[in-house]
Chains A and B, each alone.
Chain A
């Protein structure tokens, strides 16, 4: 079964062949987003230029959520089908998710120093995000400590399902508890986006560019993992 699942199907090969195009598109979109964020978008009336960190911070946080939801879906698919490509997808997305969560934390910290006066403060969004970061570092650590392929994939899949509970907790923590962190500005329950049109468009372009970068990295890392799985298969023969 493993042999059949690892061997690339035509659809998977087609998806993996799209990598150079996706790479080019994500780099182009990132350049446009960067130009808009640094030049076109106006500075914030209160915070000034430091607010421009938002154009990377918000996409990083969104991509962290997306990455860990993909880990959850791929983990459930592994437990259901035992197809090795689902495990490759899960580890790829987890690594990228950890990268973007770390980026969101660091950029948030850089923004917080001039705005709040501190690099770090003990408020719900920051605590739950840091906990999510440590959880997925633990996920990767568990994978690294497991030697047998199928047991490692199963262990990781269970963690991928258990840990996703933290994603809505992180997102809704600012609504559930008294929080210093900014409340939702774009997807607000009580009306439309509460920001300047040029800022909103720049943010949307940044999120789209970030999502393309995520998709590109995901395909690249999944391809690497599939190649690694194929080597394991060769060694078994």
Chain B
């Protein structure tokens, strides 16, 4: 079985488990919606309508939703010791990292879609460049999982993992957060060149941490 098929198998299994018991997805969705709502109230609806603020509120919410989703996904593996079986398989460690990252990206795409639509409606945002916005959203979502999954894996067997994962992931995700926020804001405001430039940075970020994760992840999984 090829490495890609193994990774897809893990991702399909993760998504199937999520379909049967969608507590991780529901928690991430609820959290994102609540955070966007509360953040918009805190800065004031007038202020939150500015493209840069609306984009920042959305991506901060999605970033925490990614951490929440990854933590829940791995907790499920720990509850029935399934992770030990996957790790014991040939190529299982790589498949676990890649599969979890793919599944998280798929879940986050749903959360981003719902959260994005909610932001558009609640904040009455105008979208100047819909295709650029879709590209920035898609690349921003793809750039998140490699770092979040890697850090969740590292903190998995530690009691303080709920504390540790955000501490480890957030500083690394600073370039992703800035690029995704600026790319989204530029697409909302109608600056095509800036939006594409920031999207390029998101591609580079996803590639660097995706390759890095696949290279060293066998050593990280216990």
A interface residues, Cβ below 8 angstroms from B: 79, 127-128, 131-132, 134-135, 137-138, 141-142, 145-146, 151, 154-155, 157-159, 161-163, 165-166, 169
- How far is B147's CA from A94's CA once the two chains are assembled, in angstroms? 21
- Known contacts A145-B164, A146-B158, A155-B154; is-contact A163 B172 (Cβ 8 Å): yes
Q: Which residue of A lies closest to B170 (CB)?
A: A134
Cβ contacts A to B, 13 pairs, < 8 Å: A131-B172, A134-B170, A135-B172, A137-B167, A138-B164, A138-B171, A145-B158, A145-B160, A146-B158, A151-B157, A154-B220, A161-B212, A161-B216
Q: Which residue of B lies closest to A150 (CB)?
A: B222
B155 interface hit (Cβ, 8 Å)? yes
- How far is B204's CA from A165's CA once the two chains are assembled, in angstroms? 12
Cβ contact within 8 Å between A158 and B220: yes
- Known contacts A131-B171, A159-B154; is-contact A165 B208 (Cβ 8 Å): yes
Q: Provide the B146-183 mask, 1 if CB < 8 A to any CB of A, else 0.
A: 01001000110111100010011011101100000000
- CB A86 to nearest CB in B, in angstroms, measures 13
Complex contacts, A132 vs chain B, CB 8 Å: 171
Pick the contact of B212: A146, A151, A165 (CB < 8 A).
A165
Complex contacts, B1 vs chain A, CB 8 Å: none
Complex contacts, B42 vs chain A, CB 8 Å: none
Complex contacts, B154 vs chain A, CB 8 Å: 142, 155, 158-159
Most buried by A among B150, B159, B160, B172: B172
- How far is B150's CA from A163's CA once the two chains are assembled, in angstroms? 12
B219 interface hit (Cβ, 8 Å)? yes
Q: Is the interface of A mostly helix, strand, loop or mixed?
A: helix
Complex contacts, B208 vs chain A, CB 8 Å: 165
- 7 shortest interchain CB distances as A-B pairs: A131-B171, A158-B220, A135-B171, A134-B171, A138-B167, A131-B174, A138-B168
Complex contacts, A165 vs chain B, CB 8 Å: 172, 208-209, 212
- CB A148 to nearest CB in B, in angstroms, measures 9
Q: Provide the B193-222 mask, 1 if CB < 8 A to any CB of A, else 0.
A: 000000000000000110010001001101
Complex contacts, A157 vs chain B, CB 8 Å: 219
- How far is B61's CA from A214's CA once the two chains are assembled, in angstroms? 41
Cβ contact within 8 Å between A127 and B174: yes
- CB A169 to nearest CB in B, in angstroms, measures 7
Complex contacts, A166 vs chain B, CB 8 Å: 171-172
- Known contacts A135-B172, A162-B212, A165-B212; is-contact A141 B220 (Cβ 8 Å): no
Q: Which residue of B lies closest to A165 (CB)?
A: B208
Pick the contact of A142: B150, B168, B170, B216 (CB < 8 A).
B168
- How far is B183's CA from A218's CA once the two chains are assembled, in angstroms? 42
Complex contacts, A131 vs chain B, CB 8 Å: 171-172, 174
- How far is B157's CA from A141's CA once the two chains are assembled, in angstroms? 15
- Known contacts A142-B154, A169-B175; is-contact A158 B168 (Cβ 8 Å): no
Complex contacts, B164 vs chain A, CB 8 Å: 138, 141-142, 145
- CB B91 to nearest CB in A, in angstroms, measures 18
- How far is B164's CA from A151's CA once the two chains are assembled, in angstroms? 16
Q: Which residue of B lies closest to A79 (CB)?
A: B219
- How far is B208's CA from A8's CA once the two chains are assembled, in angstroms? 37
Pick the contact of A162: B150, B157, B167 (CB < 8 A).
B150
- CB B125 to nearest CB in A, in angstroms, measures 24
- How far is B175's CA from A166's CA once the two chains are assembled, in angstroms? 10
- Known contacts A142-B164, A162-B212; is-contact A151 B222 (Cβ 8 Å): yes
Most buried by A among B157, B160, B212, B219: B219
Most buried by A among B150, B154, B209, B222: B154
- CB A151 to nearest CB in B, in angstroms, measures 6
Complex contacts, B222 vs chain A, CB 8 Å: 151, 154
Pick the contact of A158: B157, B172, B175, B216 (CB < 8 A).
B216
Complex contacts, B171 vs chain A, CB 8 Å: 131-132, 134-135, 138, 166
Q: Which residue of B lies closest to A124 (CB)?
A: B178
- CB B31 to nearest CB in A, in angstroms, measures 22
- How far is B159's CA from A14's CA once the two chains are assembled, in angstroms? 40
- How far is B171's CA from A154's CA once the two chains are assembled, in angstroms? 21
Cβ contact within 8 Å between B167 and A141: yes
